[in-house]
């Protein structure tokens, strides 16, 4: 075997020994490139997250435009009923809308005051076994007095002058006549009720006798007279207060205005519902955009991380490759000297080519995705929402002018 052949074999053995670890590193680089390829995110710049949004908003506006005339018609009808009612009854004022809760508390206070007052007189007359029993009995009497008086006041007193200023007062004469009957009935019931309370106190017994002398005896007991007077005053106060405690003194007037307020509220509810639906559509679109953006950011970060890992593997391969090339070239020079080859034989060895592994670096290095530009969709959605709300305002304004 010639020296040249022996030298070539030795150099080739050294080359294969150097290629083995480099091949492993090259395999890691290729594996990293495959991972990068699988993680490469899609480009979603062309995706229109607001596609169909305007159609849905237009649908909300069109449905609102269809429902709005009915709401406005209800308002007109309620207003016309009020105008007709005012004209027929000769009313020139708006209805009074009392604070019902306050008036309930007022009647409760009356009941409480009368209960305490009656209980003190019943207790001194030993009509009950204990102060609690006296207060219970007095409370029942006071509750009956206030409730019956207020009921008569609300259903009778309000009709006492009903329709006097009407175009034709005679149309409401029956109501006023029935009110007079009710007023007479109330006076009789109240008088009998308070006389009975006076008898109980004057006879100091819950079981009383009814006679002329027993009724005259009431005036000999100051406490009985006081109970009759205070009870009558509270009864009269409840009777008069109930006329305006729960609605306007003119029967039916408050109900008409409540119907008008309800019609106006229904129209505003329609507006609020349409506005809310538009806001929900905008928010859903924005949520979809944000969700996709977060997914894209996460995919881009994973991809860029894999790209950095591949570049690190390539850099490690380059370092080991250059070291292996240098070491192989030095060992080849040593073998050439050892085998004492001639310059021509050395030239035939092509050491500059044999000792290079450039093919292992023939890799297309992937590039990381840069951070995305600020998305314009949120601004677009804000503009879309503003236009939709403006269109909604214009819709209600135009219909309002038509009704006027």
CB atoms within 10 A of CB 371: 9
CB atoms within 10 A of CB 23: 13
350: pLDDT strictly greater than 70: yes
For residues 184 and 123, which has the higher predicted lDDT (pLDDT)? 184
Please state, in angstroms and rounded to a whole number, the distance separating the CA atoms of residues 66 and 81: 24
Please state, in angstroms and rounded to a whole number, the distance separating the CA atoms of residues 91 and 93: 6
For residues 164 and 75, which has the higher predicted lDDT (pLDDT)? 75
Work out the pLDDT band at 149, boundaries 50, 70, 90.
Answer: very high
361: pLDDT strictly greater than 90: no
pLDDT for 235-251, tens place per residue?
Answer: 999 999 999 898 888 88
Mean pLDDT along residues 256-284:
92
332: pLDDT strictly greater than 60: yes
Helix (H, G, I), strand (E, B) or coil at 20: helix
Number of H helices, E strands in the chain: 11, 0
Q: Is the dihedral of CA 20, 22, 24, 26 positive or negative?
A: negative
Residue-level pLDDT at 26 = 86
Work out the pLDDT band at 402, boundaries 50, 70, 90.
Answer: very low
404: pLDDT strictly greater than 50: no
Q: Residues, the chain, total?
A: 404
Mean pLDDT of the chain: 84
Among 75-79, 336-340, 387-391, the range with the most confident prediction by mean pLDDT is 75-79
Please state, in angstroms and rounded to a whole number, the distance separating the CA atoms of residues 156 and 169: 18
The answer to whether the beta carbons of residues 138 and 118 sit under 8 Å apart is yes
Element (H, E) at 230: helix 222-245
pLDDT for 280-330, tens place per residue?
Answer: 988 888 888 888 888 888 888 888 888 888 888 888 888 988 888 888 888
- Locate all alpha helices (DSSP H) within 340-376, ordered by sequence: 343-349, 351-354
Cβ-defined contacts of 121-127 (< 8 Å, 24+): 121/201, 121/223, 121/226, 121/227, 122/201, 124/223, 125/201, 125/204, 125/223, 126/204, 127/200, 127/201, 127/204, 127/205, 127/206
Residue-level pLDDT at 216 = 80
> How far apart, in Å, are the Cα atoms of 134 and each of 139, 150, 249?
8, 24, 37
Residue-level pLDDT at 273 = 93
Please state, in angstroms and rounded to a whole number, the distance separating the CA atoms of residues 316 and 318: 5
pLDDT for 16-66, tens place per residue?
Answer: 888 888 888 888 888 888 888 888 877 655 455 566 888 899 899 999 999
Please state, in angstroms and rounded to a whole number, the distance separating the CA atoms of residues 303 and 315: 18
The answer to whether the beta carbons of residues 110 and 146 sit under 8 Å apart is yes
126: pLDDT strictly greater than 70: no
Distance of CA 77 to the CA centre of its chain: 32
Work out the pLDDT band at 144, boundaries 50, 70, 90.
Answer: very high
Backbone angles phi, psi at 38, to 5 degrees: -70, -30
> How far apart, in Å, are the Cα atoms of 342 and each of 242, 328, 364?
133, 20, 41
Residue-level pLDDT at 127 = 57
The answer to whether the beta carbons of residues 328 and 357 sit under 8 Å apart is no
pLDDT for 186-200, tens place per residue?
Answer: 999 999 998 888 887
DSSP 8-state code for residue 289? H
pLDDT for 78-95, tens place per residue?
Answer: 999 999 998 888 888 888
Work out the pLDDT band at 354, boundaries 50, 70, 90.
Answer: confident
Work out the pLDDT band at 124, boundaries 50, 70, 90.
Answer: low
Residue-level pLDDT at 109 = 94
Largest CA distance in the chain: 164
107: pLDDT strictly greater than 90: yes
The answer to whether the beta carbons of residues 202 and 217 sit under 8 Å apart is yes
For residues 23 and 234, which has the higher predicted lDDT (pLDDT)? 234
Q: Is 178 exposed, middle or buried (0-12, 13-18, 19+ CB in 10 A)?
A: middle
What is the C-alpha end-to-end distance of the chain, expressed in Å? 118
The answer to whether the beta carbons of residues 175 and 265 sit under 8 Å apart is no
Residue-level pLDDT at 401 = 46
Residue-level pLDDT at 43 = 61
CB atoms within 10 A of CB 165: 14
Helix (H, G, I), strand (E, B) or coil at 327: helix
DSSP 8-state code for residue 167? S
Mean pLDDT along residues 135-162:
89
Q: Which residue's entry shows tokens 């409730």?
A: 147
Please state, in angstroms and rounded to a whole number, the distance separating the CA atoms of residues 37 and 31: 10
Flag the least confident range among 143-157, 168-182, 194-208, 261-275: 194-208
């Amino acid at each position: 075997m010639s020296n040249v052949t022996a030298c070539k074999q030795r150099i080739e053995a050294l080359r294969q020994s150097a290629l083995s670890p480099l091949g492993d590193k090259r395999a890691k680089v290729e594996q990293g490139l495959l991972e990068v390829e699988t993680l490469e995110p899609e480009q979603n710049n062309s995706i229109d997250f607001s596609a169909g949004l305007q159609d849905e908003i237009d649908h909300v506006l069109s449905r609102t435009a269809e429902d709005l005339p009915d709401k406005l018609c209800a308002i007109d009808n309620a207003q016309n009923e009020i105008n007709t009612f005012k004209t027929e009854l000769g009313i020139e004022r708006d209805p009074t809308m009392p604070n019902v809760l306050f008036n309930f508390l007022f009647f409760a206070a009356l009941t409480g005051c009368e209960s305490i007052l009656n209980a003190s007189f019943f207790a001194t007359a030993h009509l009950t076994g204990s102060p609690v029993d006296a207060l219970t009995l007095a409370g029942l009497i006071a509750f009956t007095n206030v409730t019956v008086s207020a009921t008569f006041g609300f259903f009778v007193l309000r009709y006492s002058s009903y329709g006097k200023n009407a175009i034709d007062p005679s149309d409401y004469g029956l109501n006023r006549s029935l009110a007079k009957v009710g007023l007479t009935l109330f006076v009789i019931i109240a008088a009998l009720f308070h006389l009975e309370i006076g008898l109980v106190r004057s006879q100091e017994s819950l079981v009383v006798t009814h006679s002329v002398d027993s009724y005259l005896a009431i005036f000999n007991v100051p406490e009985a007279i006081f109970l009759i007077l205070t009870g009558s005053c509270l009864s009269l106060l409840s009777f008069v207060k109930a006329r305006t405690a729960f609605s306007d003194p003119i029967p039916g007037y408050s109900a008409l205005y409540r119907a008008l307020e309800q019609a106006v509220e229904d129209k505003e509810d329609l507006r609020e519902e349409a506005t809310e639906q538009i806001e929900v559509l905008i928010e859903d679109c924005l949520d979809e955009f944000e969700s996709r953006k977060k997914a894209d950011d996460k995919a881009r970060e994973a991809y860029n991380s894999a790209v950095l890992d591949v570049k690190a593997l390539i850099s490690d391969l380059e370092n080991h490759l250059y070291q292996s090339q240098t070491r192989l070239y030095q060992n080849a020079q040593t073998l050439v000297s050892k085998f004492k080859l001639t310059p021509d034989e050395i030239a035939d060895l092509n050491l500059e080519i044999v000792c290079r592994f450039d093919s292992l670096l023939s890799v297309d290095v992937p590039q990381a995705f840069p951070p995305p530009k600020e998305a314009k969709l949120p601004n677009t959605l804000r503009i879309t929402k503003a236009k939709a709300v403006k269109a909604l305002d214009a819709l209600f304004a135009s219909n309002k002018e038509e009704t006027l």
